[in-house]
Structure 1
Amino acid sequence: MDQRSLEAAAKSGNIDLLYELIHEDPYVLAKTDNVPFIDTPLHVAAVAGKAEFAMEMMNLKPSFARTLNADGLSPLHLAVNHGHVWLVLELLKVDPSLVRFKRREGTTPLLLAVSNKNIDLISEFFLVCPESIVDSNVYGENALHIALKNEDQREGLTVLKVLMGWILRLCQKDGERIETRVINGRDKDGYTALHVAAHENNPQAVKLMLESSKINVNIEDKSGLTVLDIAVLRRQENNRRDIERMVKRHGGKRSVSLAKIKTTSDVLGSPLTWSESSQTAVIRSYAWISEERRNALLVVATLILTATYQTALQPPGGVSDSGGGGETSGGKTGSVVMGEATFIWLWVWNSAGFYIAALVTLVLLSLGQESMFRYCPLVFPLFAAYVVSGSVISPNSRASAIGLIGASMVLIIWSLVISFWQRVESKRAKVRGPKSGLVWEGFTTLDQARGLAPKGNVIWS
């Protein structure tokens, strides 16, 4: 009787009746909550579109929002299916993560909205839960796949424009990773969304997705076919080459012409190269640096860059202002007043400090995990200006050349010393250290316990 009364209260949205039932039996909602698959009052309210009752139920029993009924549907799925947009938005205000809650066959509310071609709800879902775009169902189909498999190609294209518009506008920290996962996601047949568009002979959809810089046009499906292979097969059926031309312009190839690539197992089983070993060592050595220490090191490196560059602009003792100038060796205007030998020693050490500080700045900016090339424009103009300044203030070309070679030798020696010290540290790491199981197994060190070494950077003592 209680359950039938609860259902009646939910259908009519009668909150007063709900509390009358609670007065009669305080466990009336708990009895429903203990059943794993059931139509809760929130399910009933979602179907009926009773937003106020649904919100009251969310306050009393938030767990109902994540309960599936016997058909494998949650309240939010039911609200999306029945087009109760206001109720959907109210539920999401309470718990935005419901956008990613999966029903039967792994369908999320977002994927359901895509299937129903409800572009307004799709946009709202993205606003409250941006990460929901990466979700896929049990068949491996993400939102792009489902949009392209729409029976009405024009409606599917409208939904695809909204999806791609969101993907291409992502600016959060992991935006590139999300774009890569979605645009190259494969379903149970190994099809990416681009494969599906080629199968459906949908050149407009292909053009939309090719705007992504992260798309891989040469991914093979389970049959070993690339997008270009499918486009060629479809062209033989309908004598159209639009998709084929677009894919070729973006580097698409036939599967037979693709070079054989290594599997992940091949890569992991191959010998470690010098470049891989060096890169790993750099990343590990900087992985423990905290944000505060990194900022402090950047400040120190910047100060060194400023001080050493200032020496090139205003060398000690000044510069001569005429051809007959003082004690300069070369006697050219603008050259340093100091002697040639003094200048060489000054320029060697000043240049070494300048170059090392610049290198440390580049490494700290990339933390060894990305290419330093993108940051090179920050320091290359400074390098060029520094070298030109050195040639201007040097007593003669010989002094300038010796100074440059000397600075290079200092850098080489510094690199060798670092390499030697790393080998020493590597040998020290093989020593068992003090008698402690935690130290031997790498959980901690004596230095870490004393506060001499950062946590996570194991240094054997």
Structure 2
Amino acid sequence: MDQRSFQAAAKSGNIDQLYELIHEDPYVLDKIDNVPFIDTPLHVAALAGTTEFAMEMMHLKPSFARKLNADGLTPLHLAVDHGHFWLALELVKVDPSLVRLKGRQGMTPLLLAVSKKKIDLISEFFLVCPKSIVDANVNGENALHIAVKNNEPREGVLIVLKVLMGWILRLCQKDAERTETRVMNCRDKDGNTPLHLAAYHNNHKAMRLMLKSSNVNVNIENKNGLTVLDVAVLLRREGNRWGSWCGVERVVKWHGGKRSASLVKSKTTSDILGSKLTWCESRRTRSIRSYSWISEERRNALLVVATLIITATYQTVLQPPGGVSDSGESSNATSNVTTSGEKAGSVVMDDGDFLWLWIWNSVGFTFATLLTVSLLVSGQESGFWYLPLFIPLLLAYDAAGQVISPNKTVNDKGNLVCFIILLIWVLLVWFWDRLQSKRAKARGPKSGLVWEGFTTLDQARGVTPSKKSVIM
């Protein structure tokens, strides 16, 4: 079949002619699809801007949309390059992943839209395919690199850069912070970040836009060992406009920029892996492994139980058994027991009973609180940000205990014994870890699969694996 007939139908948008050609040869589209690099009818329609024909072809042969022609371009690349806005939108509505298809030199349709300053298309592509912001070409250049390099005219660059930064700073996905870090600190083939390029071009406004990101690293070195501040100083010394480059230096220094010579020598990944495992690293690894087996349902159940224990133990402090006295001396009419309370609000029970109540109630309250924090972080992150939730509760618990205690000596004794019990528990967990670690080396049936850690007898029997220890 004459390929020119198909091209003529695609250019004119003649759908009737398309089906006439299919009537003549039902396998014609499959024959075109079998050619590795070819201008399909969809390519021709995208180039000509015949939207209805393109969408008809898109539904007949969706694979054409992902095919590269001899120039290394997909139909969406052609639509973007020739400014066919509505045709491009119709294509991505059918398949949003087309935005991330890499063509010639690794350019995606999004990167091409950035280089062509197609503002409206850039924003539409972000809406339909948010992850496309991380894509880079074969030179390692992402959308920010291209926007900064494409510096003619300057105002056009700023408009594109404003759109890109506006999207990056508004990301709220689960991995938004990681995505922002990847984009802002991406290095091209020369090791330059977008901020390096802005410094090379003496583009103050572009630098200020990118420095709004809290995840941008101003002290990354390129392959020549130059930081952004090094670039500014070097170009100033080469005779470029003194006042202008001093302004760049001030901006970079204000955001923590330093010369490469003044940076603390950082360890490589090999240095870290080859170093001795610290105690903190060991405990964190054990914690992550310990909690990785817990299913989401069991984790939620444990959180509910821990919350109930916290509530019950805290309520015991607020409303102790027998109530509290109204004055320093109070007698119980039924039991004829006189308390030794020295202040109003102390418990109506003798010192020994209160001491045991305070010890075990405090142990339960502390363990439940620690378990809650451990389950919240699950060993994956620092518990620092959860401390404001629990430290005020612990302080209020201790303050309430001081109020209801018969005297300060009893309260101090209770706190000391509680601390000793917690310390003993930590030592027991540590001892049990060591014991189980030694037993595990000789434990289990004589089986190659068990010895190699491939399976266990309990797993084969369908028994839920039990943990060696609980990390608090």
Please report the TM-score for the alignment, with normalisation by the length of structure 2.
0.94
Paired residue type of 1:408: F
Q: Is the 8 A contact 1:329 1:395 kept in 2?
A: yes
Query: 1:454 deviation in Å?
Result: 5.1
Structure 2 residue 411 is the aligned partner of structure 1 residue 406 = no
Q: C-alpha separation between the residues in 1 aligned to 2:308 and 2:384?
A: 22
Q: Is the 8 A contact 2:328 2:342 kept in 1?
A: yes
Match of 1:153 in 2: 154
Match of 1:281 in 2: 286
Structure 2 residue 241 is the aligned partner of structure 1 residue 238 = yes
Q: Is the 8 A contact 1:444 1:458 kept in 2?
A: no
User: 1:157-190 deviations in whole A, cap 9, x for unaligned?
Assistant: 1111110111111101000010000000000000
Q: C-alpha separation between the residues in 2 aligned to 1:418 and 1:408?
A: 15
Match of 1:108 in 2: 108
Considering only aligned residues, what root-mean-square deviation do their CA atoms show, in Å?
A: 1.6
Identity %: 71
Output aligned runs, 1:314-393, within 5 Å: 314-326=319-331, 327-393=338-404
CA spacing shift, 1:64–1:274, aligned 2, 3 Å: same
Q: Is the 8 A contact 1:432 1:440 kept in 2?
A: no
Paired residue type of 1:49: G
Query: 1:92 deviation in Å?
Result: 0.5
Instruction: Indicate which of 303, 308, 316 corresponds to 2:313.
Output: 308
Q: C-alpha separation between the residues in 1 aligned to 2:312 and 2:104?
A: 66
Q: C-alpha separation between the residues in 2 aligned to 1:427 and 1:213?
A: 47
Match of 1:266 in 2: 271
User: 1:259-298 deviations in whole A, cap 9, x for unaligned?
Assistant: 1111100000011111110111101111222221111111
User: 1:122-161 deviations in whole A, cap 9, x for unaligned?
Assistant: 0000001100000000000000000000132221111111
Match of 1:163 in 2: 164
Q: C-alpha separation between the residues in 1 aligned to 2:80 and 2:356?
A: 76
Instruction: Indicate which of 416, 433, 442 corresponds to 1:422.
Output: 433
Query: 1:394 deviation in Å?
Result: 0.5
Q: C-alpha separation between the residues in 1 aligned to 2:32 and 2:355?
A: 87
Paired residue type of 1:215: V
CA spacing shift, 1:301–1:203, aligned 2, 3 Å: same
Match of 1:69 in 2: 69
Q: C-alpha separation between the residues in 1 aligned to 2:76 and 2:114?
A: 14
| Count of residues paired in the alignment | 458
Q: Is the 8 A contact 1:201 1:234 kept in 2?
A: no
Q: Structure 1 stretches (4+) deviating beyond 6 angstroms? A: none
Q: C-alpha separation between the residues in 2 aligned to 1:79 and 1:277?
A: 55
User: 1:214-250 deviations in whole A, cap 9, x for unaligned?
Assistant: 1111100000000111112233421122221121121
Q: C-alpha separation between the residues in 1 aligned to 2:180 and 2:446?
A: 50
Unaligned runs of 5+ in 1: none
Paired residue type of 1:320: S
User: 1:17-52 deviations in whole A, cap 9, x for unaligned?
Assistant: 111111111110011000000000110010011111
- What SS does structure 1 have at the residue aligned with 2:308? helix
Q: Is the 8 A contact 2:195 2:228 kept in 1?
A: yes
Match of 2:205 in 1: 204
